[in-house]
């Protein structure tokens, strides 16, 4: 128990001293993306429907018989959703989000191949467009977007968005550190071993973040989205 507490204490320190500033930046970007997407789709109903149908199709091709968006739609319409479908949907959500956060974190370690801000930035903007587009679609179909957001997105969104924000910010933090260390090594090769040790320490901390923070958050959000969210709608 003491070791686990120590790990979480280290995680908190790394968050506050390392990447909280990146999280704040990505939060602002996400909010602006939601607002811009919502206003754009509201003014173009045909585009909103096409966009919604396209997103549903993408999720279905991934093996999820219903996406988060169509799940909300089915719940609003009163469609009966069975236990097997619920389990499959929840597992699909977990795997999809797991892939996303894994790529976000790994993008930082590939700082020279993938600019550490590029993929995280793309992810945040895309998520904002998805949320804004979904809210606009349901608004155009007679549903109140604020109520829909509170009941259909917020319950699972707290843990899911937190996991995505952490992974996004952490990936950026890793990438910027690796780039900084690399430039310093080029200037002074004698520091090679020093920065190798720093990278090793950072990698261990990131692994703990993945296991003790991100995975639990994703599991909780998948359960809430597949089981509790439909009950609220």
Which pLDDT tens digit goes with each residue over 113-123?
A: 566 568 888 88
Distance (Å, whole) CA 210 – CA 99: 12
> Please, is 43 exposed, middle or buried when counting C-beta atoms within 10 Å of its C-beta (0-12, 13-18, 19+)?
exposed
24 pLDDT band, cuts 50/70/90, is very high
Return mean pLDDT, the chain: 83
Mean pLDDT of all residues in 60-83: 52
Look at 159 and 119; give whichever has higher pLDDT: 159
Mean pLDDT of all residues in 41-50: 91
65 pLDDT band, cuts 50/70/90, is very low
Question: Which residue reads 């602002």 in tokens?
Answer: 28
> Quick one: tokens of 151?
């009941």
Look at 56 and 85; give whichever has higher pLDDT: 56
Q: pLDDT digit string (tens) for 172-230?
A: 999 889 888 888 888 887 878 888 899 999 999 999 999 999 999 999 988 887 777 76
Q: pLDDT digit string (tens) for 32-41?
A: 999 999 999 9
Look at 111 and 121; give whichever has higher pLDDT: 121
How far lies 216's CA from each of 98, 159, 160, 186, 220, in Å? 11, 9, 10, 39, 6
3-class secondary structure, 181: helix
Supply the pLDDT for residue 87: 66
Supply the pLDDT for residue 153: 77
pTM, two decimals, is: 0.82
Distance (Å, whole) CA 122 – CA 101: 13
Q: Of 57-66, 85-94, 171-180, 221-230, which gets the smallest average pLDDT?
A: 57-66
């Amino acid at each position: 128990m003491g070791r686990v507490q120590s790990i979480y204490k280290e995680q908190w320190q790394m968050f506050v001293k390392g990447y909280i500033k990146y999280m704040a930046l990505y939060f602002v970007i996400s909010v602006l993306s939601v607002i811009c997407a919502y206003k754009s789709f509201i003014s173009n109903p045909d585009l909103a429907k096409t966009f919604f149908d396209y997103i549903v199709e993408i999720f279905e091709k991934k093996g999820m018989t219903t996406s988060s968006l169509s799940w909300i739609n089915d719940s609003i319409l009163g469609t009966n959703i069975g236990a097997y479908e619920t389990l499959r949907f929840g597992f699909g959500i977990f795997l999809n989000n797991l892939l996303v956060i894994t790529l976000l974190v790994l993008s930082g370690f590939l700082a020279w191949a993938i600019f550490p801000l590029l993929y995280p930035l793309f992810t945040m903007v895309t998520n904002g467009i998805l949320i804004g587009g979904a809210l606009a679609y349901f608004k155009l179909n007679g549903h109140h977007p604020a109520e829909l957001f509170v009941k259909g997105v917020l319950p699972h969104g707290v843990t899911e968005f937190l996991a995505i924000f952490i992974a996004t910010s952490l990936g950026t933090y890793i990438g910027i550190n690796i780039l900084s260390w690399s430039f310093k090594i080029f200037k002074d090769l004698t520091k090679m071993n020093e920065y190798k040790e720093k990278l090793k320490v950072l990698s261990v901390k990131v692994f703990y973040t993945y296991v003790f923070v991100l995975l639990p958050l994703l599991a909780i959000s998948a359960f809430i989205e597949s089981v509790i969210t439909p009950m609220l709608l």
